[in-house]
Amino acid sequence: MSRTANMLYSLLFLGLLLALSLASLPALLSFSAASETPLLNGKLAHAIEKHYDKQFPLKEFGTNAWAALEFTLFGEGRPGVVVGREDWLFTDEEFKPASNPQQLQDNWRMIAAVQEEFKRRDIDLVLALLPAKARLYPEQLAAAKPVATQQALYAQAHALMQTQQLPGPDLLPALQQAKSAAAVFLRTDTHWTPHGAEATAKALAEYLAARGDWSRGEQRFVTRTSDSQPHKGDLLSFLPMAPYFAALQPQAESLQPRHTEAAEAAEAGAETAADLFGDAQPQVALVGTSYSANPKWNFAGALKQALGSDLLNYAEDGHGPLVPMLRLLQRERAETADLRLVIWEFPERYLMLPSDLSGFDSAWLERLRGNEQLALRDPVKSATAP
């Protein structure tokens, strides 16, 4: 290459760099640090660097371009998502082995400890083990498949339930049947649809009635369906192609929200609804994850309608199934004194995931795990033994 060409390329590169730097100046000038940010230890410089890096014009474009390249050429996204057929997305938590080989045993010992605690309180515990999205939609999987331990997990968990004499329905057939009428999981989201939540609620109510654990209550509920709304699935965050390549992302989907309320309250109005039911406390509690906590799916409402009874919802967003349950057990005994039944919504993939229990007193957790005999028992080995 001639010297003139080298100079032209160098000047072009310097010109582009200068243009981008000038374009970034407004963002740099807009920076303001907290008044207490120290200058001498480098924290101020680090804050300026982070702000500038975030506002750099090519950063977002480069991120979008790389994500678009991975998705269109290789059918892949960022770590956290598995891309399936026809723009179906799955969380990679349903595909990977547990990071800790003993994770299933650890989680199951905690489940057994929770069951023992409810027995001491004379409260029935029912485990609503939710089948994984990849298990319900194997036809939408592409090249990536769940590892063998994940494929065997649902059946293994039900074997553990039988060994532990922990009640809970097999929800897989009910959801497989329901998906023939409408989707039971959202295509670009980790969560189920209101239709899937309703099918699960009905299956739970039928299971409890067949066992004699719960007789359908006399309270009536009505469910109203709103107009469809655009829904951005949480798994799309692992395909960061917007705004420059948003057209290449999986097609947007819609969600029809549902809302369930007591029939008497709907007829009487919100002002007098409280007077109709007085101070009676529900005898049923729901504990679980965002599948139960997020009103978009209306699982708590569908469960009320299926059971014919009001319930207390202790589910939480973003903490998995164990943390909300432990928080319920730490509440005042007076709050749980009227409970007869606790339904624990538990997505199967969480059996292979650790939970952050650092917010709980370690001594209390050890007491909850029970006596030495319970601590030494290995329910996983017992359930899988020939």
The catalytically annotated residue of 158, 189, 195, 319 is 189
Q: Which residues pair with 253 in a beta bridge?
A: 231
Pick from 233, 286, 309: nearest CA to 127: 286
Q: Which of 158, 191, 195, 231 is catalytic?
A: 191
Q: Exactly one of 124, 231, 290, 355 is catalytic; which is it? A: 290
The answer to whether residue 35 is catalytic is no
Question: How many angstroms separate the Cα of 108 from the Cα of each of 29, 102, 150, 302, 312?
Answer: 54, 10, 15, 28, 25
| Cα 382 from Cα 77, distance rounded (Å) | 39
Q: Has 189 been annotated as catalytic?
A: yes
Angle at 256 between CA 250 and CA 257, to 5 degrees: 120
Contacts of 71 (CB under 8 A, 6+ apart): 77, 83, 239, 241, 248, 249
Judged by DSSP in three states, 90 sits in strand
Could you tell me which residues are beta bridge partners of residue 221?
262
219 secondary structure, DSSP code: -
User: Is 358 part of the annotated catalytic residue set?
Assistant: no
Q: Is 242 exposed, middle or buried (0-12, 13-18, 19+ CB in 10 A)?
A: middle
CA angle, 128 then 131 then 136, to 5°: 145
Q: What whole-number distance in Å separates Cα of residue 108 and Cα of residue 378?
A: 9
Please, how many CA atoms are within 13 Å of residue 359, restricted to the half-sphere of its CB? Answer: 9
User: CA 209, CA 136: separation in Å to the nearest integer?
Assistant: 25
Looking at the chain, which runs of residues are DSSP E strands?
A: 81-83, 89-91, 124-130, 221-225, 229-231, 253-255, 258-262, 284-287, 312-313, 341-347
3-state secondary structure of 181: coil
User: Hey, which residues are catalytic here?
Assistant: 189, 191, 290
